[in-house]
Structures are given as structure tokens and as C-alpha cells.
């Protein structure tokens, strides 16, 4: 409940600041740059070295990656059908695929399934969403933000110099390493800025009145993220007989709203910023209803 309240209050604060014009117009860009260059790399350095591989990591990880791949294919299909431009397609390839598996996932799944489900939430988040964001998300951002023709060198350069990707590579060499308490305290303080700053950035950019051309991609994105993705997760778990605690966690996680930082990255990269922010904001609101429906169906 505390996390729900935090999300609502901080987004509202950002929205009020936007309407009262307390911050300068470039504030969302500055906050997004802070997240990408400082908060998110710190979070990666803090969390990734703690990962351990075991049999229990298989189910959430498999479900997460199959759901993300299927969702990305769905975005590409809709993009071709409706002839979306590169910016809209790139936006949806991020916000319709990457899920809010920790900020929203932890409180919602704890409420429905209890604390014993939380380790599987972290597995889905770290080995699924988190790794996908640092790899797949980096590629999508680089590919769709490049203007003009495809240039593999430019895309590879953007990927290799993307701060979260650099942090991921460094973190993989530090698996199992325990940092000095002083260093841990520093990166923890920096990582803790991620959620409030990202939520403020969402509020600063949130628009409830959208132009007509944004309504269709917004609706399709919410459908993919909040209905299609958990349905795919359910089919996977049903087929393999994983309708247990781990499977239920995976289905819930697949149906969470869009990843906050995916919206931040899309906005910073110029991938339909207004649309990206709207999908994140509306997705959070609608997901409270859709996760309740999921609970009724699988519990």
C-alpha cells in the first residue's frame, strides 16, 4: 500500500508542478538524463552482482523472455498494419514490451500472493526485465533514435556508450562480489533516487488530453501490455503445467504496467515523448484494474 501511495502522490506532484509551471520546460529532459546517467547505472551496480543462478530461476526467466519477444513481435505487426513512423514504433518497442516488474510488481504481488512470492518477483525482474532493458532496450533506443538510414556502426557505438549497458557489463564481472560498505552506501543512495525522480518526470510530462493521432497507438500499447502479455504468460504456464506459485507470479508480472525507465529512455531519445509518457501514466492507472481481473481469474 505504501508503494501505491508513493506512485500516486509523486506523479501527482509532478503533474501539479507541470500545470503551475514551477520548473522550466526543459526539466523533464534534465531529470531523464539524471536517471539514465546516474540513478539507473547505480541501481544496476547495486542489484546485478547479487544475482545467483538456480533451477528456481528458470520459470520466471523463461516466461519473461517469451512474453517480451512475443510482445515485440505484436508491436511490429501493428506498426506495419497502421504504418506507424519510426518514433512511434520505437516508443512502443520499449513501453509495450518492458514491464514495471519491481515498483508495481512487488506491492501488487505481495498483496495477492504474499511475501513467499517475492523472491520470484525479483527473479522475473532481474533476469527478465532488468537484463532485457540493459540489452534489448539499449539496442531499440539506438536503432530507432538514429535518423536516416540504418548505420550499424552508429548503433553499436550508441549501445556501447549507453551508461546502463556499461554498468551491466561491469556488474557481470562482479557477480558474487560484496562491495565495501562505504561504496554500497554511496550507490544505494544514488539508486534510491530512481523511483521518485522517474515518477516526477512522468508527472511533468503527463497529458490527459492527447491528440487524436496518439489515441490509437496508446490503446494498442495498453492492450499489448496489460492484456496480451499476461495472456501469453498464462498460455506458457498452462502448457508446461506451471500453474503454481511461480507461474502465478510470472502471469502477474507479465501484466504489470510499462516500465518507468523505459518511458524515460523513450522520451530522452526522442521516441514520441508525449505518447511514451502517456502510456506509462495511463498504464499505471489502468493496471490496478487489470491486475485485479488477473487475480480473479488465476487465484
Q: Strands of 149-273 (E only): list them.
A: none
Picking from 277, 133, 142, 274, the residue whose alpha carbon sits closest to that of residue 200 is 277
For the segment 225-229, the average pLDDT, to the nearest whole number, is 97
pLDDT at 150: 59
Cα dihedral: 207, 198, 268, 66 (round 10): -100
If you search the block for the grid coordinates 519491481, which residue do you land on?
A: 102
Mean pLDDT of the chain: 87
Structure pTM? Answer: 0.79
List, for residues 120-154, the tens digit of each pLDDT value: 887 888 788 888 888 898 889 888 987 766 567 77
pLDDT at 31: 86
The percentage of residues in the chain with a pLDDT greater than 90, rounded to a whole number, is 38
For residues 219 and 119, which has the higher predicted lDDT (pLDDT)?
A: 219
Contact at 8 Å (CB) between 238 and 295?
no
List, for residues 144-185, the tens digit of each pLDDT value: 987 766 567 776 777 788 787 788 788 878 888 888 899 999
List, for residues 47-88, the tens digit of each pLDDT value: 778 766 666 678 999 999 999 999 999 999 999 999 999 999
Cα–Cα distance for residue pair 115/2, rounded to 1 Å: 15
Joined grid coordinates for residue 250? 510470472
For the segment 91-104, the average pLDDT, to the nearest whole number, is 90
Q: Is CATH 2.40.50.220 the right assignment for the domain spanning 27-298? A: no
Q: What DSSP element (H or E) covers 254?
A: helix 245-254
pLDDT at 169: 83
Cα–Cα distance for residue pair 243/28, rounded to 1 Å: 42
pLDDT at 256: 94
- Domain residues of the chain, as ranges? 27-298
* DSSP string computed for 16-85: HHHHHT-S-TTHHHHHHHHIIIIIHHHHHHHHGGG----GGGHHHHHHHHHHHHHHHHHHHHHHHHHT--
For the segment 188-205, the average pLDDT, to the nearest whole number, is 84
Task: Tell whether the model's pLDDT for residue 1 goes beyond 60.
Answer: no
Amino acid at each position: 500500500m505504501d508503494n501505491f501511495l508513493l506512485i500516486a502522490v509523486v506523479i501527482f506532484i509532478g503533474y501539479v508542478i507541470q500545470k503551475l509551471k514551477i520548473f522550466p520546460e526543459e526539466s523533464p529532459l534534465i531529470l531523464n538524463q539524471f536517471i539514465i546517467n546516474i540513478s539507473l547505472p547505480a541501481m544496476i551496480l547495486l542489484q546485478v552482482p547479487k544475482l545467483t543462478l538456480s533451477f528456481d530461476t528458470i520459470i520466471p526467466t523463461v516466461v519473461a523472455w517469451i512474453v517480451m519477444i512475443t510482445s515485440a513481435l505484436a508491436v511490429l505487426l501493428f506498426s506495419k498494419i497502421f504504418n506507424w513512423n519510426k518514433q512511434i514504433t520505437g516508443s512502443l518497442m520499449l513501453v509495450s514490451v518492458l514491464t514495471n516488474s519491481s515498483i508495481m510488481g512487488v506491492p501488487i504481488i505481495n498483496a495477492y500472493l504474499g511475501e513467499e512470492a517475492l523472491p520470484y518477483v525479483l527473479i522475473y525482474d532481474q533476469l527478465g526485465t532488468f537484463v532485457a532493458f540493459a540489452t534489448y532496450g539499449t539496442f531499440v533506443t539506438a536503432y530507432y533514435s538514429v535518423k536516416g538510414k540504418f548505420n550499424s556502426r552508429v548503433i553499436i557505438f550508441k549501445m556501447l556508450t549507453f551508461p546502463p549497458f556499461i554498468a551491466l557489463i561491469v556488474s557481470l564481472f562482479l557477480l558474487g562480489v560484496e562491495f565495501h560498505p562505504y561504496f554500497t552506501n554511496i550507490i544505494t543512495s544514488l539508486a534510491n533516487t530512481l523511483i521518485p525522480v522517474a515518477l516526477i518526470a512522468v508527472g511533468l510530462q503527463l497529458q490527459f488530453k492527447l491528440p487524436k493521432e496518439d489515441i490509437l497507438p496508446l490503446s494498442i500499447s495498453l492492450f499489448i501490455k496489460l492484456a496480451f502479455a499476461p495472456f501469453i504468460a498464462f498460455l506458457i504456464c498452462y502448457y508446461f503445467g506451471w500453474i503454481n506459485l511461480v507461474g502465478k507470479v510470472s502471469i502477474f508480472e507479465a501484466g504489470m504496467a510499462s516500465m518507468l525507465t523505459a518511458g524515460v529512455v523513450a522520451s530522452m531519445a526522442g521516441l514520441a515523448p508525449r505518447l511514451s509518457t502517456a502510456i506509462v501514466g495511463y498504464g499505471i492507472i489502468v493496471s490496478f484494474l487489470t491486475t485485479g481481473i488477473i487475480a480473479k481469474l488465476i487465484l
